[in-house]
């Protein structure tokens, strides 16, 4: 079964990550990152000199373990300053990130905005529910004045003039942008590696891959480099790396969260990601996802596709009213033993709470046809197959090649790629990128 083979390849090979190493960063990027780190160290030194006079401060190790909800409350109640929170995460980043390579661009103005957040709160002004809370975003979302590369050398010097809608909504809610997290080129892989920034290693075990394409976001959240991140997902790009790194990722309904300002599409090109690609949060708890989602849901300036929706209501539901079906396989691909045990444990808890839980699947479900329909729908989005999208740093691949085909950008190490169109009916514009755009 084609879909079964595809799932097997994604699950096994993306996890293996072809012995990923975070050291394959381009020389130019090493210099840029060194300059950013020197500036941040100087800013943190200045903050330390000022903050040592404050009694009863929380330890940085305590701060980076706090949830988004806890951080927001502590800052609002003035038990913690935004500067303290931002400094704690930046110090954690500088100490831990070199081994994992999750954050690829730092916002050297983060501490200044955090200080302004504290001054505003001291004068009785709140910026919103996220006042003073730091966060990161995937390097596929436009950030005004802060380089946005989408992991491709073609955009290595691209500095947007405005924020992606989802970024602006977080800033409007009071958030502090720490930096950008790694992605495969144009979000085009199920692991996270590119010729600019190198490979992001798994946050649980750096010998393994991070998953993709939101691998940088998932690892940053897993390691406490950021309280939460915003990723993007078409075919699993939030969900796969969240699973690989032991964090929570959420794929919202299409057009609930604005996709405006995401790359792809490449700046200046037609938006071909109109029906299936979404922006979604990654965090360390479901409570945090629930807190973040209303802040990012809805339209922004120039966005005519995302409808304004009323705030969601949370009504209590008795477990006895729930009827739940579950399965531990997809076609002829079964979950591994540890996953099955975890699912059975959850099933037992749900049944003990009074829910009706049945192991079942749709009868005679055509897995292969479902995959072909996915490819067909993708193929007709925005006439992308006639654009230059496939020319930005990628080249076609003829045979099915695993972990041994070389990226066309000079100096990029071999990594996992497929000729999916020929083998699995994936749309032509995905075939031309020689990857999955997710």
Per the CB < 8 A criterion, the answer to whether 72 and 130 are in contact is yes
Mapping DSSP to helix (H, G, I), strand (E, B) and coil, where does residue 266 land?
coil
For the stretch 181-214, pLDDT in tens is 999 999 988 999 999 999 999 999 999 999 999 9
The residues, any chain, with a CB within 8 Å of residue 108's CB and separated by 6 or more, are: 36, 39, 40, 43
Of residues 212 and 382, which shows the higher confidence score?
Answer: 212
Report the candidate in 220, 196, 200 with the shortest Cα–Cα distance to residue 210.
Answer: 200
For the stretch 294-327, pLDDT in tens is 999 999 887 888 878 776 666 778 899 999 999 9
d(Cα 358, Cα 35) in Å, to the nearest integer?
57
The residues, any chain, with a CB within 8 Å of residue 224's CB and separated by 6 or more, are: 64, 65, 89, 92, 96
DSSP letter (8 states) at residue 415:
B
Q: Which of 26, 195, 237, 378 is catalytic?
A: 237
The residues, any chain, with a CB within 8 Å of residue 1's CB and separated by 6 or more, are: 331, 332, 367, 368
Is the bond preceding 265 in cis, omega lying within 30 degrees of 0? yes
Predicted pLDDT of residue 47: 94
Per the CB < 8 A criterion, the answer to whether 37 and 108 are in contact is no
Q: Which of 26, 82, 213, 214 is catalytic?
A: 213
Please give the domain boundaries of the chain with CATH numbers for all domains.
20-296 (3.90.1300.10), 319-359 (no CATH), 367-433 (no CATH)
Catalytic residue check, 369: no
Q: Which of 138, 180, 195, 378 is catalytic?
A: 138
Catalytic residue check, 34: no
Catalytic residue check, 26: no
Beta strands in 44-188 (DSSP E): 103-106, 134-138, 176-181
Predicted pLDDT of residue 272: 67
Checking if the pLDDT of 375 tops 80, the result is: no
């Amino acid at each position: 079964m084609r879909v079964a083979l595809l799932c097997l390849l994604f699950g096994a090979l993306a996890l293996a990550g072809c012995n990923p190493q975070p050291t394959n960063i381009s020389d130019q990027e090493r210099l840029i990152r060194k300059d950013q780190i020197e500036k941040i160290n100087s800013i943190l030194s200045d903050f330390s000199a000022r903050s040592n006079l404050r009694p009863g401060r929380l330890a940085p190790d305590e701060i980076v373990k706090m949830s988004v909800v806890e951080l927001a409350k502590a800052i609002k109640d003035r038990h913690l300053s935004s500067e303290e929170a931002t400094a704690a995460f930046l110090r954690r980043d500088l100490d831990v990130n070199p081994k994992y390579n999750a954050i690829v661009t730092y916002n050297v103005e983060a501490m200044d905005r955090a200080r302004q957040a504290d001054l505003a709160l001291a004068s009785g002004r709140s910026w919103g529910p996220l006042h003073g809370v730091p966060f990161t975003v995937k390097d596929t979302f436009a950030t005004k004045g802060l380089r946005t590369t989408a992991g491709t050398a073609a955009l290595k010097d691209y500095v947007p003039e405005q924020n992606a809608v989802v970024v602006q909504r977080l800033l409007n809610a009071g958030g502090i942008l720490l930096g950008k997290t790694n992605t495969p080129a144009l979000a085009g892989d199920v692991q996270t590696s590119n010729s600019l920034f190198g490979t992001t290693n798994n946050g649980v075990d750096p010998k393994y891959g991070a998953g993709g394409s939101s691998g940088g976001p998932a690892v940053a959240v897993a390691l406490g480099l950021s309280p939460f991140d915003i990723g993007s997902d078409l075919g699993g790009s939030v969900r796969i790396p969240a699973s690989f790194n032991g964090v929570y990722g959420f794929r919202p309904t299409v057009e609930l969260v604005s996709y405006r300002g995401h790359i792809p599409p490449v700046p200046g090109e037609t938006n071909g990601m109109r029906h299936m690609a979404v922006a979604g949060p990654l965090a360390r708890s479901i409570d945090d996802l629930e807190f973040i989602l209303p802040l990012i849901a809805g339209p922004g300036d120039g966005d005519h596709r995302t409808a304004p929706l009323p705030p969601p209501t949370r009504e209590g539901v008795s477990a006895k009213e729930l009827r739940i079906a579950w399965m531990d396989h997809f076609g002829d691909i079964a979950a591994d033993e540890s996953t099955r045990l975890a699912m059975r444990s959850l099933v037992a808890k749900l049944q003990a709470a009074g829910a009706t839980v049945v192991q079942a699947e749709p009868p005679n479900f055509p897995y292969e046809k479902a995959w072909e329909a996915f490819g067909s729908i993708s193929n007709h989005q925005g006439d992308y197959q006639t654009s230059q999208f496939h020319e930005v740093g990628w080249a076609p691949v003829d045979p099915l090649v695993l972990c041994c085909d070389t990226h066309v950008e000079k100096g990029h190490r071999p990594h996992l790629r497929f000729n999916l169109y020929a083998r699995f009916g994936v749309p032509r514009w995905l075939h031309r990128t020689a990857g999955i755009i997710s």
